[in-house]
Amino acid sequence: MNISKKTGRMVLAAMFMALGLVLPFITMQIPAIGKMLCPMHIPIMLCGIFCGWEYGLVVGFITPLLRSVLFGMPVMIPGGVSMAFELATYGAVIALMYKVLPKKKWSIYPALLVAMICGRIVWGIARMTIGGITGNGFTFSAFISGAITTAIPGIILQLVLIPPIVIALKRYTKYDTLSEEK
């Protein structure tokens, strides 16, 4: 990989991290809306697609922890730590899935769905583990509520926004994705 491509990935990854830090400000006046819209998820998934699984994993892991330290939201334990594992999974899985799927416009959808399922499972495992350590139980109904029921608007938003963004950026950039070796 040449230096300019590596620099480009690092700059994009930093931009996606900055978006992950800033987008929640749109919903922070009403925290329940933030939990429903999942604003940090979108830039992390885009980071995975355009920068590669390594950047998606690292940016996904760091962003919620950094946001917790800088702004106090999400609360570090259990929210920030659980989200760190969840978003790291999103960033890595979407990149890996997108890379192995055929290079068609529709390929973003299965990559997105698999990443969303894997990330939510990892989030549930992290919450259950943290709950066991801290003595605060995490039930299956809490998992369903947090991972699916409450997040339905965010899931829809991700399915509506991410594919057209990826398709548009692929159309107007010289690289199919920066994560591919050309």
Q: List pLDDT tens digits, range 18-46.
A: 999 999 998 876 777 877 899 999 999 99
For residues 55-91, one letter each, b for 16 or more C-beta atoms within 10 angstroms of the residue's C-beta and e for the rest, the string is: bbbbbbbbbbbbbbeeeebbebebbbbbbbbbbbbbb
pLDDT range class, residue 177, cuts 50, 70, 90: very low
How confident is the model over 53-60, as a mean pLDDT?
98
Assigned domain for 22 exists: no
Tell me how far apart the alpha carbons of residues 8 and 31 are, in angstroms, rounded to a whole number.
34
Q: Which pLDDT does position 103 carry in this prediction?
A: 83
pTM listed for this prediction: 0.90
Assigned domain for 78 exists: yes
Q: List pLDDT tens digits, range 117-148.
A: 999 999 999 999 999 899 888 888 989 988 89
Assigned domain for 142 exists: yes
Q: Which pLDDT does position 161 carry in this prediction?
A: 96
Assigned domain for 20 exists: no
Assigned domain for 27 exists: no
Share of residues in the chain with pLDDT > 90 (%): 69
Assigned domain for 18 exists: no
Over the chain, what is the mean pLDDT? Answer: 90
CATH number at residue 62: 1.10.1760
Assigned domain for 102 exists: yes
Q: Which pLDDT does position 56 carry in this prediction?
A: 98
Q: Which pLDDT does position 174 carry in this prediction?
A: 59
How confident is the model over 92-97, as a mean pLDDT?
98
Counted domains in the chain = 1
Assigned domain for 23 exists: no
Q: Which pLDDT does position 4 carry in this prediction?
A: 86
Residue 58 lies in domain? 40-172
Q: Can you read off the two tokens belonging to residue 11? A: 């700059």
Cα 145-151-155 angle, rounded to 5 deg: 140
Which residue, 24, 22, 38, 16, is CA-closest to 155?
Answer: 38
Asked if pLDDT for residue 180 goes beyond 70, the answer is no
CA gyration radius, the chain: 16
